[in-house]
Homo-oligomer: A and B are copies of this chain.
Amino acid sequence: MAQVQKPSIPKGTRDFSPEQMAGRNYIFDTVRSVFKKFGYKPIETPSMENLSTLLGKYGEEGDKLLFKVLNSGDAFSSISPEEFNKFIIRQNSSRDDVEKSGLEGGYLYDDDEAGIEKVVNSNALSLRVCEKGLRYDLTVPFARYVVQHRNEITFPFKRYQIQPVWRADRPQKGRYREFYQCDVDVIGSKSLLNELELVQIVDEVFGIFGINVCIKINNRKILSGLAEVMGFPEKLVEITIAMDKIDKIGLDAVKEEMLSQGVDEKGFSILEPVLTFTGSTQEKIALISDVVKDSETGRAGVEELKTLFGLIDQAGIRQKVEIDLSLARGLNYYTGAIFEVKALDFAIGSICGGGRYDNLTGIFGLPDVSGVGISFGADRIYDVLTGLDKFPKDAITGTKVLLSNMDASSVAYLLPLAKKLREKGISCEVYPDQSKLKKQFEYAEKNHIPYFIIAGESEVQSKTVNVKNLETGQQTTVPIAEAEDFLG
C-alpha cells in the first residue's frame, strides 16, 4: 500500500452529498416526467466520443476546452524515438519547415513569424496519442447518434437526454468542468408546433418548480435579415455577438464594438431602434416587419415568429412569453427560432435556452434534417430553487422510521415489523449497532428521520413498541401488531 494521501478531487468537479442529490434528483425527475408527458424518449450516448466527432464543432475556443483521453495501453510507445523527436520544433525553423515536417494538428508559433522557438508541439502530439475526448455537450453526440442510427429511427424523432458534459474551462463560481445537461429535441420536422411544444414544456416545468420566468423568443432569420438591410450580411456573426451583450455592456458599447468590426454608422442606425424598442408583441412584430421588409430571409423570420406567437396565444401559456429582438445566442448552428429563459425573481443568467437548427446532421453526412431543441441548466435551476426556497419538503425526505437496537432479542422482535413496514412502502432502518440510545436518537435527528421506534425488554414482554415522533416530541405506546397502521 502506498503512503497516506490527503484526498481531494480535480478542480472544477464536485461531490454531491445525499442532500444535494435529493435536490438534483427532484429537478431531473421533474423535467423527465414532463418530457415523457409530451412523448419524448430517453437516449444515452457514451461519455467518450471519437475526437474526430468533436473537433471543429465548437469553434477554435471549444476545441481547446475538450478533455482528451489518452489512448489506452502504452500510448507513447507506439511512437518511435525518431518520430518523437519530430514533435520538437527547432529554433529558427520557419512555418514552411513545420509544414514540411508532415505533422498534423496545430502548431505553437512564436509571435514573430520569422522564427520559431524550440518547443514541444503540444497539439500535434496530443492528437497523436489521444483518439477520444469527453463529450462537450449533448447536441453534437445527438446529431452523431441520429446519423449513425438513421435506419432504426422513426422520424420525427423526439428525444431527451440527461447526462454530464465536460469542459476544460477555468473553474469559477457557478462554472464547473463537469456538469449535467438536460436536452430535449425533436428532429425531422419543420413544423412550428414543435417550437410551441417546447414553450409548453418550459411553461410546465417551471410551473411545477414554482419559479416565475420570462421566455424570450427571437428568430435567427430576422437577425440575418437585419444584417442584410444594415448592408453587412457577411458580418452576421460579429453583429449577433455584439448584440448579445447589450444587457451586460449597454447600447453604446454594443455600437462601439460593431463599428470596430466594420459596421458603419448608417448600418447601425437601422439596428438601433430595434434594440431599444419596447412594446407589445404586436407592436414588436409590426416594427421588425417594417425594418426587414426588403429582406426575404427577414420576412420569413417574421412570418415564423407571427405563427408561433399565434399558437402560443391559443395554448394558454401561464408564464410570461415575449419577443426579444436583441436576443441572438452565440451558437452559430441555429437557423430559426431561438429561445432563452430567465428567472424573474432571482438574479442569475439564462436557466434554459435553445433553438432551431436546419443542418446539424450535415457534418455527419445527413443534410437537410431540421430540428429544434432546448436545454435546461440543472445547476442554475438548483441555485434558483435553493435561493427562492422552493424545494418541496417531501422531495428531500429519506427514511421515515428508525427502529432501535437494544440487544439481539429486541432486534429479533423488531425485524419482522421492519419487513412489514417496507412491504407497505414505508422506508425504514434498523439501527445496526447496539449503541447507546442517545447515539441512535442523534442518528435519527441528523438524518431527519421523523419516527423512532424503541423496543426494550418491557416492550418485548408486553408485545408493544414505543413510537416517538421526533418532530413533535410526542411518544406513544402501541401494540406491535398495530404499529404499521399507526405509521401508515
Contacts and interface: CB of A to CB of B under 8 A. Distances in A.
A76 B125 contact: yes
Given A48-B166, A191-B432, 8 more contacts: A9-B144, A9-B148, A22-B42, A47-B134, A68-B69, A84-B87, A158-B429, A193-B430
Nearest to A443: B154
A349 interface: no
B168 A56 contact: no
Contacts of A240: none
Interface of A: 1-2, 4-10, 13-18, 21-22, 25, 36-39, 41-50, 52-53, 55-56, 64-65, 67-70, 72-77, 79-81, 84-85, 87-88, 108, 118-123, 125-126, 129-132, 134, 144-145, 147-149, 152, 154, 156, 158-159, 164, 166, 168, 177-178, 186, 189-191, 193-194, 197, 200, 204, 314-316, 362-365, 398-399, 402, 405, 411-412, 415, 419, 422, 425-430, 432-434, 442-443, 446-447
A70 B68 contact: yes
The 8 closest A-B pairs by CB, nearest first: A72-B168, A39-B429, A13-B46, A18-B41, A74-B122, A191-B432, A76-B122, A39-B399
Nearest to A445: B154
Contacts of A14: 46
B53 A427 contact: no
A158 B422 CA distance: 17
A100 B41 CA distance: 59
Given A154-B443, A412-B314, A42 B15 contact: no
A178 B48 contact: yes
Given A122-B76, A412-B314, A433-B190, A4 B70 contact: no
26 contacts: A1-B362, A2-B55, A2-B363, A4-B364, A5-B53, A5-B364, A6-B364, A7-B148, A9-B49, A16-B42, A17-B152, A21-B41, A21-B43, A38-B427, A39-B427, A47-B166, A48-B166, A70-B129, A74-B122, A77-B120, A80-B120, A85-B85, A191-B434, A193-B411, A193-B430, A314-B415
A122 B75 contact: yes
B186 A39 contact: no
B67 A67 contact: no
Contacts of A15: 43-46, 145, 148-149
Q: Is the interface of A mostly helix, strand, loop or mixed?
A: mixed
Contact of A1 (B64, B119, B363, B434): B363
B39 A398 contact: yes
A364 to B, nearest CB: 5
A44 B69 contact: no
B154 A447 contact: yes
A42 B70 contact: no
A135 to B, nearest CB: 11
A427 B37 contact: yes
A81 to B, nearest CB: 5
A176 to B, nearest CB: 9
A78 to B, nearest CB: 8
Given A18-B43, A68-B70, A144-B7, A156 B432 contact: yes
Contacts of A120: 76-77, 79-81, 84
Contacts of A428: 37-39
A426 B37 CA distance: 7
Contacts of A125: 76
A446 B402 CA distance: 48
Contacts of A398: 36, 39, 41
Nearest to A50: B10
B18 A156 contact: no
A13 B433 contact: no
Nearest to A35: B427
